[in-house]
Structure 1
Amino acid sequence: MADELLTSRKAAQRLGIAVATLYEWLGQSDHGGFMIRGQSVTINYLQSGAKGQGRIRIEEGEIARIRELMRVRPQLHRPRKKSTSNQNFPGITARLGRPDEV
């Protein structure tokens, strides 16, 4: 069964963004510069008209895919390795001693 084709207004409403923002996203997607959460994304949409100047329609499944890409998932906190600082010689980061003995 085919997905319902949504107008730009309904698609923007389901994504929770303004229609102008949706048009900006589509333009960025056309040029390969659209990113969601650091991931390059291409938005598939339909545009009627002989020269592609008609109304834009987006499938419901595509809107669901974009919403999933926008979803925030909890990340596990990885503890940082404790820095080892030498208090005897502050500011010196190289190993001490002769180079041939290291």
Structure 2
Amino acid sequence: MEFMICDPDGLCRNGTDSGYDECLKNDKWCADGYAAGAFHGFESARRITEEEAVKFIMDDFGLSEEAAKAKLKEKGLGKEEAIAYVAKSFGYHPTQAAKALGFYESKTISKKPEW
């Protein structure tokens, strides 16, 4: 797995079996189009080691080293799940959440997510 600190999104990862590059939003790994852009050189980011990623999580979440390592490997949310999670967590409309995650397509976000 590879890790980056993305500006302004924070800790991102790729190399999971979800099929998406992901960013840590609050306490969930969310599919994120901007994270994908970072790993392909289109977004502002810097690569970090796994040890630096663990330290980032320890510092931001106040977790132990063991818990932070487990968080690095935690299953991420897919595209639709991530949109619903970000909408609920940040009080966004689903369209705003999709835009914030770099997934906005006017024809694909047509219904309100169930929570």
Same fold at TM > 0.5: no
Q: TM-score, normalized by length of structure 1?
A: 0.24
Larger relative contact order, structure 1 or 2 (CA cutoff 8 Å, min sep 6): 1
Higher-Rg member (1/2): 1
